[in-house]
Structure 1
């Protein structure tokens, strides 16, 4: 008998009061419109992707004036009045971006026709990695969560192409030095019910492909990588390819972690 996905409980999005925009910096305004995080918005402005009243503005610190019409890539953008926080259990084969220039499927394809607000992914999971991904239109929270100084703990289940030797497990525990500097994990252990080629690894470092590069450094290939835990959020009752709105207490928890 085919296994049926358990239905995901629908929850009302968390609502917040809109922040006044007059006097707001341009990069913050773009982030408040749900385009991206504030740091990413600054890059978009510097790249000339944002115009104000028909003129390209390259200064992220430009202050929004009464009546300003802001466009991103030619499309008028306005701040989202309602903040939305989604938790997605990402399947394999999707790009973690709002739009892919090569036309490949992205995580946004899973949301089409299901939410009215424009959201963007917080951080990245590479195409072959599965598991928990947060999406929101809260640019300020996203900026804080992706800042290098923010230590958000994440747990991954990694399946390797061969058994992980005890001595290599210990080397990972003690810390490694990769091409972009030293890396220290929080914890690692075998998942013995799945064999010595499968481990749980707890980490707060957010560098690109860090889990895969840790094992590549020691001569292993990660053939499956699944993010099981993200800053206090888990995959409980969330099937692969499904998403849910965060509960109010979960949003409060994330904001507490980030100091927002």
Structure 2
């Protein structure tokens, strides 16, 4: 949101549109109806300049607290793509309320269409860059159900780095076997895997490199941010101040 860099001010209609109160046209109508006030004084001109940090803005008596950025934790469901728009599939943005979609957030990184779990959405480009920069090696942990018996040989292979189908050798990863298959190659093993990079379909390709296939994949953490167990698939919430502070401490 553009704010006058010199005066620290912005138009009241821009502020209210940014906060999801309505369209520019609707805000103009609210002002003409005397429903907008700044510091207790009715505002008829929706183009009036206000200081979002100092002025009290109300609509129908309801305070509107300005914020520039939004930070959302989503438990991404299957069948939805991690993009802002798509010509064929629903996107994670389609799951947002109008209030939050109005901030024009974008997913920080991607989860495959059939992968579920933690996805951060924000309009804070600086924070997104910090979390996605290859130089930062931000750890990401996944829970997976893998066909076959995942054993200590796989743990050692992942710790050393495995060669993917395109010849790329992954950075060392921490594989923890939660439950080995009791039916050998015909059963399922349950694991957690922590990686520090984000190659295309990386977790699935790593297991293919050791002759196994991922049947179910869920991201449970990204850096210090852990998926809220109370969030059902397709649900989301704003980050708490504590969670945001943890992420910003990485910068």
TM-score by length of 1: 0.64
Instruction: Choose the corresponding residue for 1:160, options 146, 152, 155.
Output: 146
Tell me whether 1:87 sits opposite 2:79 in the alignment: no
Which segment is superposed worse, 122-131 or 175-184?
A: 175-184
CA drift at 1:83: 0.6
Listed as ranges, the matches of 1:162-177 within 5 Å are: 162-177=148-163
CA drift at 1:246: 0.7
Aligned partner of 2:234 in structure 1 is: 241
Listed as ranges, the matches of 1:1-260 within 5 Å are: 20=5, 82-101=68-87, 103-115=88-100, 116-178=102-164, 179-192=166-179, 197-236=189-228, 237-257=230-250, 259=251
Equivalent residue pairs, number = 185
| Unaligned residue ranges in structure 1 (runs of 5+) | 1-15, 22-32, 34-79
CA drift at 1:19: 8.1
Question: What is the distance in 2 between the residues matched to 1:109 and 1:193?
Answer: 38
- If asked which structure has higher relative contact order (CA below 8 Å, sep 6+), I would say 1
| Unaligned residue ranges in structure 2 (runs of 5+) | 7-17, 19-65, 183-187
Partner-residue secondary structure (3-state), 1:185: coil
Change (3 A) 1:203 1:18: farther
Which segment is superposed worse, 191-200 or 173-182?
A: 191-200
Asked which structure has the greater CA Rg, the reply is 2
Report the RMSD for the aligned CA atoms in angstroms.
Answer: 2.6
Kindly provide the CA deviation profile for residues 76-123 of structure 1, in whole angstroms up to 9, marking residues without a partner as x. Answer: xxxx9611000100011111000003x211111110435232111110
Which segment is superposed worse, 174-183 or 148-157?
A: 174-183
Partner-residue secondary structure (3-state), 1:152: coil
